[in-house]
Structure 1
Amino acid sequence: MTFSPDAVNGQPRQYHNQDQYLSLLAGLPAHLSLFSANKPPVSRLTLEQRLKALEPHHRHLLSEIEGILQWGYFSPEMTHEFNADGSLLPVEKIKAVLAAIEDHALQTLVRDKIDFRTLVGALRQRHQDVHNRPQGQWTVSRFKQNIENNWQEPCFRLEHAMPWLSEAKQFIDSDQPLALEKLLMKNAWLHLSRPLANHGFSFYAVVIYVLKWNIVERWSRYDGDLAVQRFDQLLQAGLSRGEAG
């Protein structure tokens, strides 16, 4: 077990206790495979109630991590200036949250997610404006320089390191948003489903559970939208047959 030198209520903070949240995680229903679930295994309200068992600094950090990863895909159009009310805009906010993550494995996980979303955002931005090469502090991704230096290349010369990029580009170019979302969700899910070696029932495992919950919830909304579309199509087809009769 490793402790941070700072303390909460006179007690050192725990960052690597593998069994710290055993009761919390054992009480949550397991995730099914992504596309087989039509809704998350537990409601957000229930999840939030269970997350009250987190230590205050962990609960705050989890909220911050969810926040920076729910801003959508990081695009070259993003700015690092401040809002009128003094609050931080995405890039500076992301830097602040990353600096607050003392666990190396968790910081790596969040950075990987930022890399993933940055690449998708750059693909989408280039599709809209191939001549507008990104500049400035638009992302904290390790692929920032690759993207800027290889803006005209189909996959920023990263297709060997990131094989999914080629397929994502094809879906963007052919205007297949649902196929794109399924590809991205699948890759994000596989990334979060890697074995949790040496993490057990730690805060890291809690973050994994919540991020997977967010993916399932996102897919359930897409799946619901598709069901409505299919119903509308069937309804219109029925009306057409009725008019023909």
Structure 2
Amino acid sequence: MSYYTLVAALPDLPPLSKCKQMPISRIALNRRLSMLSHEDQQQLKLAEDLYYFDSEQLEKRSDQALVYQWQNQLSQIESGVVRQCIQNRLEWQSLLAAMRQRQQSDQGPEEFYGLGRWTNRIRQHWSEPAFGLEGALPLMTELQPLVQKGAAGEIERQINNWLWHDLLRAERRHHFTLETVICFVLRWELAEKQIRNDGDQAINTFESMAEVLLSAPVIREHIESAFEELS
């Protein structure tokens, strides 16, 4: 099929750091994506499922089983460009798993299972803070102290920003192709997830502040007085 009409119908996404509201809903996006052939839609779904795997998998399955599953699913991605973007995503997941495993357990490098280029490097440089990957992945030097602090939110933001630019580069190298469409959809999901997480964080912050205020003696006295007047 010709992808010109579909790609031209996709809106621009603002930079991830400035994306506070989605320029298109998922319902509207799906209407546009219905222009894809059945085979292309299958490739898109496979890419989405692999890029945004169910977090429950991490808890229910062993690392080794997950790696085998990811490798099998990756082999079904026909586009080398999309396959590489997804592999980049899963490599970051493997790196995070290695840092957490090293920090939180007594398991050694021989028990680590990961996907991608860096697995052997991780095992060989297990005791080094960034597994000796500072040159290849400068972001690693920033993530290590965040892992030690348990700053999961900031870690996710940093990696999502890296992934956003990785997808954007691939998208810009391939105009009016299926790769353009898939990379756009994966970026849309990154932005939507960030907005949703920011909303959840805002609600949690509000609830925490409200709890603190309501527990203050002065505020409690005013509330009790107001209820007495109403009664």
Task: Give the TM interval when normalised to the shorter protein.
Answer: 0.7 to 0.9
**Alignment correspondent of 1:129:** 105
How many residue pairs align between the two structures?
217
Flag as ranges the 4+ runs of structure 1 deviating above 6 A.
Answer: 73-76
The CA distance in 1 between the partners of 2:126 and 2:118, in whole Å, is 12
**Alignment correspondent of 1:6:** none
Q: Which amino acid aligns with 1:50?
A: R
**TM-score, length basis structure 1:** 0.78
Identity of aligned residues (%): 25
Q: Which amino acid aligns with 1:242?
A: I
| Structure 1 residue 44, shift from structure 2 partner | 2.0
**Alignment correspondent of 1:207:** 182
* Pair 1:26 & 2:13 matched: no
Asked if structure 2 preserves the Cα contact closer than 8 Å seen for 1:192 and 1:208, the reply is yes
Higher helix fraction (1 or 2): 2
With 68-77 and 235-244 compared, the bigger mean Cα shift is at 68-77
| Structure 1 residue 130, shift from structure 2 partner | 4.5
Q: Which has the larger radius of gyration?
A: 2
Asked if structure 2 preserves the Cα contact closer than 8 Å seen for 1:74 and 1:121, the reply is no
For residue 162 of structure 2, the aligned residue among 187, 191, 196 is: 187
- Assess, with a 3 A threshold, how the Cα gap between structure 1 residues 193 and 234 changes in structure 2: closer, same or farther: same
Structure 2 gaps, min length 5: 223-231
| Structure 1 residue 202, shift from structure 2 partner | 0.5
| Structure 1 residue 149, shift from structure 2 partner | 1.8
| Structure 1 residue 131, shift from structure 2 partner | 3.1
**Alignment correspondent of 2:122:** 147
Q: Which amino acid aligns with 2:95?
A: L
**Alignment correspondent of 1:68:** 50
**Alignment correspondent of 2:219:** 242
Asked if structure 2 preserves the Cα contact closer than 8 Å seen for 1:74 and 1:122, the reply is no
Q: Which amino acid aligns with 2:84?
A: T
| Higher relative contact order, chain-length normalized (CA < 8 Å, sep 6+) | 1
**Alignment correspondent of 2:76:** 100
With 159-168 and 39-48 compared, the bigger mean Cα shift is at 39-48
| Structure 1 residue 56, shift from structure 2 partner | 1.4
**Alignment correspondent of 2:41:** 59
Measured against aligned partners, the alpha-carbon deviations of 1:32-52 in whole angstroms (never above 9, x if no partner) come to 111222243222222222212
| Structure 1 residue 198, shift from structure 2 partner | 4.6
Measured against aligned partners, the alpha-carbon deviations of 1:52-91 in whole angstroms (never above 9, x if no partner) come to 21121111111111112222597994133xxxxxxxxx33
The CA distance in 1 between the partners of 2:86 and 2:220, in whole Å, is 55
Structure 1 gaps, min length 5: 1-13, 15-19, 81-89
**Alignment correspondent of 1:37:** 19
